[in-house]
Structure 1
Amino acid sequence: MGLTSHKVLALAAALTVASFVATIWLWPRLARRSGPAITGRIGLLLATQVALFVTVGLMANNSFLFYASWADLFGREQAPGVVVDHAAGGKDVRVVGERRMDVPGGSRREAGGRIQQIVIRGRKSKIASSAYVYLPPEYFRSVYAKRTFPAAVVLTGYPGTAENLVKGLRYPKTAYDQVRTGRMRPMVLVMLRPTVAPPRDTECVDVPGGPQTETFFADDVPAALRSSYRLGAGPRSLGFIGDSTGGYCALKLAIHHPKVYGAAVGLSAYYRAAEDPTTGDLFHGSVGRRHHADLLWSLTHGPAPRTSLLVTTSRHGEQNYRSTQQFLDAVRAPTRASSITLKSGGHNFNTWRREIPASLIWLSSRLTGR
């Protein structure tokens, strides 16, 4: 059984309950002051505490996916990274794996769609990044054979893993459910993390003399995807959605590149690039580059982009509530803005899972696939 298996979590919870019951049941028999009795009491308390700690740890890991497997947890995951050839003529998207969806009829692509693990090669940025692509069931049906689909780039926060978007935030399953119930149109999802030059947090910035992350997402990713999948060619065929750092990146790409991304969603986003030890020197002293990475500055000093933006926040639990109101106040036509404001919700997976269904429906309504 895998580390993230529900069976493992259920077994740990059952052992915790059993340890607690055993402690209550046996405690009177171990109430004496003899050495064996004292040792027994210590053993019962220790077993209960360890079982409880393991259960809570498994629950936290299942929610946030800190570790994907037992090998990963114990440091035995030694699989080498994928080397991508940047020679001229190489493929921009290389499929390295495929999995089926855990839905009824998921063994057939026409019923459940597919999740492909890929590597995207950036021709301009010279960045290579792994990703997951969710292809909906409609993509494989003959009636849609000549149809192009809308797509959304999906980003995690920093540091994050693309696996979190599949298992933790359940983007493919959510999209599948929304299409099945008629709330949204079929859409391809391309799931990545913003950390394209690990361990550095580049904040989706083109760093002078460093990683050209904005170029990767603005130029390379759209070109690579359209060369490999049946996606529309216009800006209203491509959207962007992300949480935290990924949300900041999503909004920034749509504001700076409205001819590429016709809509973007920022879940718990912030609105200017972070500058801390994880980012290093992003701007090399350039005031212009720092302003460019400030979304409020871009909206108030630059031309209003023809794109649609959705931002989310919470009145209690999020630190971006006030800045989100300032961001919405700064939007002017032809930019269109929408928002989701929860009464309470923290900067975490549980909050984002509450917002993702409505966000995907909104994004689908803004994209045409042409």
Structure 2
Amino acid sequence: MGLTSNKVLMLTVVCAVALFVGTVWLWPRLARQNWRTVSGRVGLMLATQLALFASVGLAANQAFGFYASWADLFGKETDQGIVVDHSAGGGSGGPLQVISSSAVKGARSSRPEIGGQIQKVDIVGRKTHIATPAYVYLPPEYFQPQYRTRTFPAAVVLTGYPGTAESLVKKLKYPNTAQQLADDGRMQPMIMVMMRPTVAPPRDTECVDIPGGPQTETFFAKDLPDAVLAHYRVGKRPGSWGVIGDSTGGYCALKLAMHHPGVYAAAAGLSPYYRAPIDPTTGDLFHGDKDLQNRADLWWLLQHQPAPDTSLLVTSSKTGEHNYKDTLEFIDRVKATNRTRIASIILGSGGHNFNTWRREIPATLQWMSGRLTDR
């Protein structure tokens, strides 16, 4: 049974309840003052607390999608290994391989031309040699005969850290939301590439080209668009691509659009921060390279670099988000550039969690759709 299995969660809940009831029932019998009864009381209390802790932890993981498997939880992922051809010509199968496909859960039909399709893919960067899984949402129009020669805009959708790409599908429901908005005429049909910004797990690279390490920014700015363009009917002009992310993914989205406006015409950061942190999960990102460190600081970019020709959206809430004041200041600084466009979603209250982001995603997708072209 997997880490995210409902059976595992129910089993831990049942164990916690049984241990609690057992503790209440057996406590009078363990009231004597000898080493056996004292050990019994300590054992029951410890087992009950561990079961409760496991139940709460599993429930939180189910809700927020922190870890996808036991191996992921313990930093020993086993499902990331795919063959990478480092020869000049690359692999014969192309940089993107479709592993499986499935219907959009909850769609009005399982037929792709009516309900769209979600494809699980492996992507290998031809330049960076980074290999990472992703989910690709294809709207119903992609499969309809009248649109067989049409290209579609594309949005890269990023999780936070550590995050799981699956949570973008099942928890944040990006495909369902996009399909409903398109059906209502509130956004154009769009391809979405859903993935983690953590392309070198378990390290949090903050979408930085790390000296001597993973070239994460280059992967998202060059390899990923090239791989998707080679496999799907996506618009090739710069105005056809956008990027969305929450938390760490939100910071990455803003930075990618500001660094590479010729690739990403729009970026939306849901609950983003604006400067790459340095902590045990990131390690040394810059290796003493001050220029690289400055480029990873969005405040520094706004003050010292020409304003990029791109559109940005940032979100926060007055109560519950730690980035509220920073977000207001970021908006003011971008407005002062008179070149970069800025928009915002500010909620009255909402924490740094899936529930908040689900409230922001419909408006975010509408905003993104209005800034991308299908050519």
TM-score by length of 2: 0.84
* CA separation of 1:108 and 1:8: change in aligned 2, threshold 3 A: farther
Q: 1:51 to 1:264 in 2, by over 3 A?
A: same
- Pairs within 5 Å for 1:119-268: 119-268=122-271
Q: What is the CA–CA distance in structure 2 between the aligned matches of 1:120 and 1:220, rounded to whole Å?
A: 9
Matched with 2:368 is 363
1:31/1:193 CA distance change after superposition, 3 Å? closer
> CA separation in 1, counterparts of 2:190 and 2:345?
21
Q: Secondary structure at the match of 1:259?
A: coil
TM-score normalised by length of structure 1: 0.85
3-state SS of paired residue (2:128): coil
Residue 83 of structure 2 corresponds to residue 83 of structure 1:
yes
Counterpart among 352, 355, 358 of residue 357 in structure 2: 352
Question: 1:255: how far off?
Answer: 0.5
Larger mean CA deviation between 48-57 and 355-364 belongs to 48-57
Aligned length: 363
Paired residue for 1:312, among 291, 312, 315? 315
1:339 equivalent in alignment to 2:344: yes
- Identity, in percent, stands at 63
The one of 104, 116, 119 aligned to 2:119: 116
- Cα contact 1:238–1:369 (8 A) shared by 2: no
| 1:280 lines up with 2:283 in the alignment | yes
Specify the SS of the correspondent of 2:233. Answer: coil
**Ranges in structure 2 where 5+ consecutive residues have no aligned partner:** 33-40
The 1:211–1:11 alpha-carbon spacing in structure 2 relative to 1, beyond 3 Å, is: closer
Tell me if the contact between 2:134 and 2:193 (Cα under 8 Å) persists in the aligned partners. yes
Q: How far apart in 2 are the matches of 1:253 and 1:69? A: 29
Q: Which deviates further from its counterpart, 231-240 or 46-55?
A: 46-55
C-alpha distance in 2, partners of 1:281/1:139?
Answer: 43
Deviations 1:249-269 (A, max 9, x none): 100010111110000000111
Secondary structure in 2 matching 1:300: helix
Using a 3 Å threshold, how does the CA distance of structure 1 residues 105 and 2 change in structure 2: closer, same or farther? farther
Opposite residue 353 of structure 2, the aligned amino acid is: N
Amino acid at match of 1:86: H
The equivalent residue for 2:331 is: 328
Q: What is the distance in 2 between the residues matched to 1:207 and 1:86?
A: 20
Does the CA-based 8 Å contact 1:86-1:121 persist in structure 2? no
SS in 2 for 1:289: helix
The separation in 1 between residues aligned to 2:321 and 2:153, in whole angstroms, is 31
Counterpart of 1:38 in structure 2 is none
Match of 1:265, SS state, is strand
Question: 1:230-286: CA deviations, max 9, x gaps?
Answer: 010111100000011110110001011111000000011111111122212222222
* Aligned counterparts of 1:169 and 1:126: Cα–Cα separation in 2: 29
